[in-house]
Structure 1
């Protein structure tokens, strides 16, 4: 876990995604829900949307995901979602809202809206990258962790 993602330390849960195709998105969501039973419904829903979008982007733009990681802290209540893929190309920073006729651009806008912060860093082990997002509970409509 890189120090710029979360305060404190917690070992991440990891899911190997090498050789999978987009049909694995349902498996990723189930794994995430089982991994985070302590989250409130609103927080879990947001985490599920973010990991689904990061993994879908890895399938669509990143040559496929290599692995997904989740790090959960209870004090303060935070979840960091990371997806490693094979492409060195970074997602475009959030720009204005996608237009009605745009074919893409909605996914990162969703992540921008739901996450406290997100970023990307190069992954020298695979020549690809890691895209991550941090979501805290107790904000907006999210209730604190159980």
Structure 2
């Protein structure tokens, strides 16, 4: 895994995930924590949960992730998470809470609950997609970032 910052205040940090397997998930969460250390603890925790769920979905349902991007905006305090994979199929949005015994649906339910909004952009050239989520700091559930 390699991460880099593309330069500029709001330019995305990118981590290449091609050829990795699900054992890379802990490293992705650590990378996110190193990338946006200025966030408040609640916001950073939510970012780590969401990027972990989106990357896990790419392994399970997307033919494996290609790359993940984090873009941190300071005004307003917001983080955009993007995970690109190889498959065009979109994740299912589960707004009702999945049942205790449901095997699936918990990850995107968490993304739906923690993100201000999320969606999917298709990548026509590759046949894949980018699943993105936007998380703002200082909302009803998170303290403002320092």
Normalising by the residue count of structure 1, what TM-score does the alignment of the two structures yield? Answer: 0.91
Q: CA RMSD in A?
A: 1.2
Query: Over residues 52-99 of structure 1, what are the superposed CA-to-partner deviations in whole Å (9 max), with x where a residue is unaligned?
Result: 000000000000000000000011000000000001100112242212
5+ residue gaps, structure 1: 1-8
Distance (whole Å) between structure 1 residues aligned to residue 131 and residue 94 of structure 2: 14
Q: How does 1:26-105 map to 2 (within 5 A)?
A: 26-105=26-105
Show the counterpart of 1:20: 20
Normalising by the residue count of structure 2, what TM-score does the alignment of the two structures yield? Answer: 0.91
Distance (whole Å) between structure 1 residues aligned to residue 43 and residue 65 of structure 2: 24
Distance (whole Å) between structure 1 residues aligned to residue 121 and residue 94 of structure 2: 16
Range moving further from structure 2, 55-64 or 94-103: 94-103
- RCO (CA 8 Å, sep 6+): is it higher in 1 or 2? 1
Measured after TM superposition, the shift of residue 141 of structure 1 is: 3.1
Measured after TM superposition, the shift of residue 134 of structure 1 is: 0.2
**1:74–1:145 CA contact under 8 A, matched in 2:** no
5+ residue gaps, structure 2: 1-8
Show the counterpart of 1:120: 120
Aligned length: 138
